[in-house]
Structure 1
Amino acid sequence: MRVVVADDAVLIRSGLVSLLEEFGFEVVAAVGDGDGLVESVAVHRPDVSVVDVRMPPSFADEGLRAAVEARRRVPGSPMLILSQYVEVSYADDLLADARGGVGYLLKDRVADVEEFLDGLRRVASGGTVFDPQVVSQLMVRRRRDDPLGSLTSREREVLGLMAEGRSNPAIGRQLVITDGAVEKHVRSIFSKLGLYAEDTDQHRRVLAVLTFLRS
């Protein structure tokens, strides 16, 4: 799997490169600013990019804005955003094209190498992976016209865990319910959101999560 790493902190950038290469990833570019990210994505067309939110010159949200621009130039280019803090100002733009291939994790998650690499692979394959704290912040911004209004509280719980990138068995373990019960809730969510069987389950899963994160 070919990866672009974008982080202005040299030690963090070097650490990510070493970690990824140790586990068999090919790092095709490692850059320290948003312009470098956009250029690297356009040139290398990586399978996924790992992007820090705060980069030069203002160290605000340049990384997030650069990720949006990179996906504009290379539509659907998978992006895993890493941040020390939750910053959702450009999250809607990342989610806008409904293509999936988007993740947003707090940097603390990198300490759990298995979880981080699993999230990276999910994003590269077109899935969505969001840190629970990011999900919570996005939920706070719900619009009055809530497309999830017809979901039960349990279905909202299931959909929230789907947004975190959990598989059906993992959701069952978290909620202490059977795999069959999880599948029933997922089918009901698809139906209530108008996501029908002609789409693949993976595609419907991504669209359901995007609806949840935007609502």
Structure 2
Amino acid sequence: MRIVIAEDNALLAQGLTALLEALGHQVLATTGEAGSFIEAVLTHRPDVAIVDVRLPPSFTDEGIRAALRARERLPGLPVLVLSQYVEDTYARELLDDGAGVGYLLKDRVARVDDFLDALHRVAAGGTALDPDVVRQLLAARGNPLSRLTEREREVLALMAQGYGNSEIADRLVVTERAVHKHVGNIFMKLDLPPEDSGDRRVLAVLTHLGVPQRRPRPSEPRRLAPPPG
């Protein structure tokens, strides 16, 4: 994959670069500033961008706002957001089209396999949400998680990361039939449509979070806007 990274923590940026390049990926540019990040993605047109939410000068939400602007300029640009916090408003806006977007808390980066799995899912046009992000966004809607059992919450967290029933079964060490039953209960308790494919299930969760979905038809190829000039 061809990757651009926006991360002001030099140690983390170097660590990500070393990890990704050791696995055969190409890090086209690293930057700690929102404006140069947008310039980098317009110049290099990467397969995926990794962006910290909080960048200088104010260290509030420059990174995620830059990601939104980058996707306006390059529609369909896959973006994986890294943060120590959940920025509710911009997270919902970034997740608006539900395709090629991920939001992980930085603690997850230490779990290399989880991070790489999420990065590949996002680059392929899928969705990857940190379980804590899902919990906080759900809590903002009146804590409907209270309707779920502990096991159902575990299944929901894995659903939100884009895993299918067989993958969830492997991770929880239960039968696929048991997972199917839990998924049905989740849909019923959260008033979600009973879709059974992995990507649609993620979209159903996002819809419940209050994120309107506007996805292209499956037959439509992802189109990137031409570079300016």
Q: Could you tell me the TM-score, scaled by structure 1's length?
A: 0.81
Q: 1:84 to 1:190 in 2, by over 3 A?
A: closer
* Alignment partners' CA distance in 2, 1:170 and 1:213: 23
1:196–1:119: structure 2 CA closer, same or farther, 3 Å change rule?
closer
Would you say the 8 A contact 2:100–2:126 is kept in 1?
yes
2:55 corresponds to: 55
Quote how far apart the aligned CAs of 1:182 are: 2.5
TM-superposed deviation, 1:126: 1.4
1:141 aligns with: 140
> Please, which runs of 5 or more residues in structure 1 have no aligned partner?
none
Q: Which residue of 2 aligns with 1:34?
A: 34
How far is 1:88 from its partner?
2.5
Using the TM superposition, give the Cα deviation of residue 179 of structure 1 relative to its aligned residue in structure 2, in angstroms. 0.9
Runs of 5+ unmatched residues, structure 2: 212-229
Moved more, 157-166 or 16-25: 157-166
C-alpha RMSD of matched pairs (Å): 2.9
Superposition map of 1:167-182 within 5 A: 167-173=164-170, 177-182=174-179
- SS of residue in 2 equivalent to 1:208: helix
Separation in 2, partners of 1:12, 1:152: 36
Q: Quote how far apart the aligned CAs of 1:42 are.
A: 2.1
Residues of 1 paired with 2:163 and 2:56: CA distance?
33
Distance 1:190 1:43, change over 3 A: farther
State which drifts further: 104-113 or 156-165. Answer: 156-165
Q: CA deviation at 1:181?
A: 3.4
- TM-score, structure 2 length as denominator? 0.77
Q: In the aligned structure 1, how far is the partner of 2:109 from the partner of 2:86?
A: 15
Structure 1: distance between partners of 2:154 and 2:105: 21
Distance 1:196 1:167 in 2: 12
Equivalent in the alignment of 2:210: 214
Q: Is the 8 A contact 1:119 1:129 kept in 2?
A: yes
CA shift digits 1:180-212 (9 cap, x unpaired): 332455578789744768xxx354234223224
Q: What letter is aligned with 2:11?
A: L
Whether contact under 8 Å (1:104, 1:134) holds in the other structure is yes
The 8 Å contact of residues 164 and 198 in structure 2, kept in 1 or not, is answered as no
Offset at residue 160 of structure 1 (A): 3.2
Would you say the 8 A contact 1:3–1:46 is kept in 2?
Answer: yes
Query: Is the alpha carbon distance of 1:176 and 1:203 closer, same or farther for their aligned partners in structure 2, counting shifts above 3 Å?
Result: closer
Equivalence for 2:107: 108
Q: Secondary structure at the match of 1:28?
A: strand
Distance in 1, matches of 2:207 and 2:153, equals 12
The aligned residue for residue 155 of structure 2 is: 158
Q: Partner letter of residue 41 of structure 1? A: V
Going from structure 1 to structure 2, the CA distance change for 1:130 and 1:176 (only over 3 Å counts) comes to: same
How many angstroms does 1:157 deviate by?
A: 5.3
Judging changes above 3 Å, is the alpha-carbon distance between structure 1 residues 14 and 206 closer, same or farther for their aligned structure 2 residues?
Answer: same
Distance 1:26 1:75 in 2: 21
Amino acid at match of 2:68: V
Partner-residue secondary structure (3-state), 1:19: helix
Distance 1:158 1:113, change over 3 A: closer
Letter in 2 for 1:92: R
CA offset digits 1:120-139 (Å, max 9, x no partner): 11111112111122111111
Whether the 8 Å contact between 1:159 and 1:208 is mirrored in structure 2 is no
**Given that residues 160 and 212 in structure 1 are in contact (C-alpha distance below 8 angstroms), is that contact kept between their aligned partners in structure 2?**
no
